[in-house]
């Protein structure tokens, strides 16, 4: 409403300026649509080629439509176990990282203490380190500790490490925005710190915790570089794709890629819709 | 719970301890081990010993300065393209997105739900010799413009294109955040004071969006400089970046000291470049 009022109150622009503004406005919109088309182009290729019926091992040229790749999604040796490992790691890593990250976020937003600055830097540093350095340094640590065998646990440890910072940022953003008085009221009414946390704080930051779980899960299941350095002989789904790419990736890779994409998209769409509902309810 | 009441000052530290211990043990300590490894000598068969062999650094720079320079060059070009390409879109969403803002942002992030490697393989298909882009350019008789015998795949162009695409949301999202925070009344005020739209943009909107530009360029450039997937899948050995060398020295040649020294040179160069950049644009814009 206010925007309209402001615009009506302004002196009339000349016809030429109006036309120019009109063109400019739609040029930007058209450009943006082209940009989204560009973003979606490789995704469309991935999805389309999941229905390809390749004659040889190579899935580069369109040969014909088939549903077989979807029906026999685990028809390639090793692909099922790779996907299962990726899902396990992503599930456990996102839970651990979100728990640790939520605690750090609570400490940073709720308390004044010595070492806040250092903590913030330590959270920020892994985000601004190239993945290859993260992977390589963790590899040298494990190489120098003779009791470590590379495998599930080294992958898990690495994934939790690079997820923590994302968890902290996600939960912190929500904590900063909410009303402390609710917690103070609970305390005034005789609730102790733990009860206040469980009954007041936790429900309020639940959306951020869910967002953090989803984000960590997505980052973990997509990670290649750090995993590649620390997996030993274990194969996660991205490592499987890497190995398959050298000889020509089978169409089943596209099937799983499409499936992960669809699940993530539906979850994120649901999130956007819930926010819309909430905004409408609030308005 | 009585414990917490008696020691309230301790609570933040107890909350921080597990997470920070994890980061300390598996992020900071490993960086120390990387440094330790980089000064060792020996071989995988006879074992490595710590000998203060600074020569590893000298060799890393002498033998691979070309790879370092190429990495920073590709990363810088990709960052610049990503900035120019995504700024108008971030602007459009921030000022004209209306109630569709969140949906449009989802559109920017959505492609990144497809596994990184699969996305890059899709670009391999698109840029291939008889793929979409090459054929379109051929029809338009523009293939000669490339100057690479009509090829895109296995050239620097393909590698930079891949890097640009893969790190685009790192650029677009911070740009959007800083543009979204701009009070539209400031721009209206500039126009009321007879600034043209271009002037208003150059003098008001763009300067106010600088924190986003700085954040976006940094978080695009840093991972891009260390990337090796795009060079591996979309480039030829002539386009290999320092990440390719580090990766193969660590995992194929098991020349750990050399690989560790290169990783440290990479990290140190990035830190130096970030500091110079921060100086140049002013630190207050970094913390925004």
Q: What is the ipTM of this complex?
A: 0.90
* CA dist., res. A65 & res. A52, Å (int): 5
Distance from CA of B144 to the nearest CA of A (A): 23
CA-nearest residue to A222 within chain B is B115
**Tokens coding B277:** 């950049």
**Does the beta-carbon distance from B119 to A42 stay under 8 Å?**
yes
Q: Is a pLDDT exceeding 90 seen at residue B248?
A: yes
What pLDDT does B114 receive?
94
Residues of chain A with pLDDT under 70: 1-13, 24-25, 55-59, 283
Asked if residues B219 and A128 have their Cβ atoms less than 8 Å apart, the reply is: yes
Does residue A1 sit within a domain?
A: no
* CA dist., res. A250 & res. A70, Å (int): 12
Q: Which of A130, A166, A201 to mutate to test the interface with B (most CBs of B within 10 A)?
A: A130
Give me the residues of A, 77-106, that contact B with CB < 8 A.
Answer: 100-101, 103-104, 106
On chain A, the residues whose CB falls within 8 A of the CB of B108 are 36, 39
Is B218 at the interface with chain A, CB within 8 A? yes
Instruction: Select the more confidently predicted residue: A197 or B15.
Output: B15
Give me the residues of B, 241-270, that contact A with CB < 8 A.
Answer: 243, 246-247, 250-251, 256, 259-260, 263, 266-267, 270
* CA dist., res. B187 & res. B206, Å (int): 11
**Is there a single domain that holds both residue A83 and residue A65?**
no
What pLDDT does A112 receive?
86
Instruction: Select the more confidently predicted residue: B222 or A16.
Output: B222
**Is there a single domain that holds both residue A82 and residue A215?**
yes
Among A52, A69, A86, residue at a domain's last position: A69
Does residue A261 sit within a domain?
A: no
Instruction: Find the largest Cα–Cα distance for chain B.
Output: 79
Q: Which of A136, A217, A282 to mutate to test the interface with B (most CBs of B within 10 A)?
A: A136
**Is there a single domain that holds both residue A151 and residue A222?**
yes
Q: Is a pLDDT exceeding 90 seen at residue B104?
A: yes
**Is there a single domain that holds both residue A115 and residue A51?**
no
What pLDDT does B4 receive?
53
Does residue A278 sit within a domain?
A: no
Does residue A7 sit within a domain?
A: no
**Is there a single domain that holds both residue A93 and residue A32?**
no
Is A160 at the interface with chain B, CB within 8 A? yes
Instruction: Select the more confidently predicted residue: B248 or B196.
Output: B248
Instruction: Find the largest Cα–Cα distance for chain A.
Output: 78
Q: Is B48 helix (H, G, I), strand (E, B) or coil?
A: strand
**Is there a single domain that holds both residue A45 and residue A126?**
no
Asked if residues B256 and B250 have their Cβ atoms less than 8 Å apart, the reply is: yes
Does residue A147 sit within a domain?
A: yes
Total domains, chain A:
2
**Is there a single domain that holds both residue A170 and residue A128?**
yes
**Percentage, residues of chain B above pLDDT 90:** 66
Range B67-82 average pLDDT? 97
Does residue A275 sit within a domain?
A: no
**Is there a single domain that holds both residue A130 and residue A213?**
yes
- What is the average pLDDT value for chain B, to the nearest integer? 90
Does residue A153 sit within a domain?
A: yes
Candidates B93, B99, B226; nearest CB to A133: B226
Asked if residues B208 and B186 have their Cβ atoms less than 8 Å apart, the reply is: yes
**Is there a single domain that holds both residue A151 and residue A234?**
yes
What pLDDT does B98 receive?
85
Determine which of A39-43, B96-100, B167-171 has the lowest per-residue pLDDT on average: B96-100
Which tens digit of pLDDT belongs to each residue from A101-110? 999 999 998 8
Candidates B29, B106, B125; nearest CB to A272: B106
Which of A215, A219, A34, A32 has the alpha carbon at shortest distance from B104? A32
**Is there a single domain that holds both residue A105 and residue A167?**
yes
What pLDDT does B8 receive?
67
Q: Is A65 helix (H, G, I), strand (E, B) or coil?
A: strand
* CA dist., res. A141 & res. A128, Å (int): 20
Which tens digit of pLDDT belongs to each residue from A42-55? 999 999 999 988 76
How many residues are there in chain B?
288
**Is there a single domain that holds both residue A115 and residue A182?**
yes
Confidence grade of residue B150 (pLDDT, cut at 50, 70, 90)? confident
Q: Which domain, by its residues, includes A231?
A: 77-249
Q: Is B41 helix (H, G, I), strand (E, B) or coil?
A: strand
What pLDDT does A218 receive?
93
Domains of chain B: 64-287 (1.10.3720.10)
What pLDDT does A37 receive?
95
**Sign of the torsion angle spanned by Cα atoms A184, A189, A191, A192:** positive
Does residue A9 sit within a domain?
A: no
What pLDDT does B167 receive?
95
**Is there a single domain that holds both residue A51 and residue A184?**
no
Provide the number of CB pairs (under 8 Å) joining chain A to chain B.
238
């Amino acid at each position: 409403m206010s925007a309209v009022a402001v615009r009506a109150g302004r002196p009339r622009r000349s016809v030429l300026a109006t036309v120019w503004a009109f063109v400019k406005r739609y040029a930007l919109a058209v450009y943006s649509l082209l940009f989204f088309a560009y973003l979606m182009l490789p995704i469309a290729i991935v999805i389309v080629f999941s229905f390809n019926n390749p004659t040889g091992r190579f899935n580069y040229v369109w040969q014909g439509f088939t549903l077989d790749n979807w029906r026999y999604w685990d028809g390639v040796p090793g692909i099922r176990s790779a996907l299962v490992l990726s899902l396990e790691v992503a599930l456990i890593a996102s839970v651990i990282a979100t728990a640790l990250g939520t605690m750090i976020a609570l400490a940073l937003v709720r308390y004044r203490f010595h070492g806040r600055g250092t903590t913030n830097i330590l959270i920020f540093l892994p985000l601004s380190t190239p993945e290859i350095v993260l992977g390589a340094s963790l590899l040298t640590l494990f190489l120098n500790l003779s009791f470590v065998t590379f495998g599930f646990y080294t992958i898990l440890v690495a994934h939790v490490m690079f997820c923590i910072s994302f968890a902290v940022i996600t939960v912190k953003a929500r904590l900063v925005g909410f009303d402390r008085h609710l917690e103070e009221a609970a305390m005034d009414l005789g609730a102790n710190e733990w009860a206040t946390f469980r009954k007041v704080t936790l429900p309020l930051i639940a959306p951020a915790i869910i967002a953090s779980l989803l984000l960590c899960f997505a980052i973990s299941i997509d990670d290649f570089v750090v995993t590649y350095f620390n997996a030993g002989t274990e194969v996660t789904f991205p490592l499987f794709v890497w190995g398959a790419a050298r000889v020509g990736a089978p169409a089943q890779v596209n099937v799983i890629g499409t499936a992960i994409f669809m699940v993530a998209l539906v979850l994120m769409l649901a999130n956007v819709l819930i926010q819309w509902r909430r905004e409408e309810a609030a308005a | 719970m009585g414990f917490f009441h008696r020691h309230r000052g301790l609570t933040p530290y107890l909350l921080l301890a597990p997470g920070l211990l994890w980061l300390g043990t598996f992020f900071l300590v490993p960086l120390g081990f990387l440094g330790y490894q980089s000064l060792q000598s020996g071989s995988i068969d006879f074992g490595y010993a710590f000998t203060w062999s600074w020569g590893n650094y000298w060799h890393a720079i002498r033998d691979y300065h070309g790879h370092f320079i190429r990495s920073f060059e590709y990363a810088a070009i990709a960052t610049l393209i990503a900035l120019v390409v995504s700024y108008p879109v971030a602007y459009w969403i921030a000022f004209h997105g209306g109630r569709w803002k969140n949906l449009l942002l989802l559109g920017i992030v959505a492609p990144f739900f497809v596994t990184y490697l699969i996305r890059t393989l899709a670009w391999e298909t698109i840029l291939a010799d008889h793929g979409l882009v090459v054929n379109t350019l051929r029809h338009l008789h523009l293939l000669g413009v490339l100057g690479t015998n009509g090829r895109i795949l296995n050239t620097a162009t393909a590698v930079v294109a891949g890097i640009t695409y893969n790190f685009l949301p790192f650029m677009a999202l911070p740009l959007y955040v800083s543009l979204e925070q701009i009070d539209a009344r400031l721009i209206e005020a500039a126009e009321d004071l007879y600034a043209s739209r271009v002037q208003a943009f150059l003098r008001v909107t763009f300067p106010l969006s600088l924190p986003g530009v700085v954040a976006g360029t940094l978080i695009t450039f840093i991972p891009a400089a260390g990337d090796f997937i795009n060079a591996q899948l979309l480039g030829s050995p002539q386009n290999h970046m320092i990440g390719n060398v580090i990766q193969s020295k660590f995992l194929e040649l098991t020349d750990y000291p050399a690989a560790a020294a290169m990783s440290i040179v990479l990290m140190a160069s990035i830190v130096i470049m970030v500091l110079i950049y921060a100086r140049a644009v002013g630190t207050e814009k970094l913390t925004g």
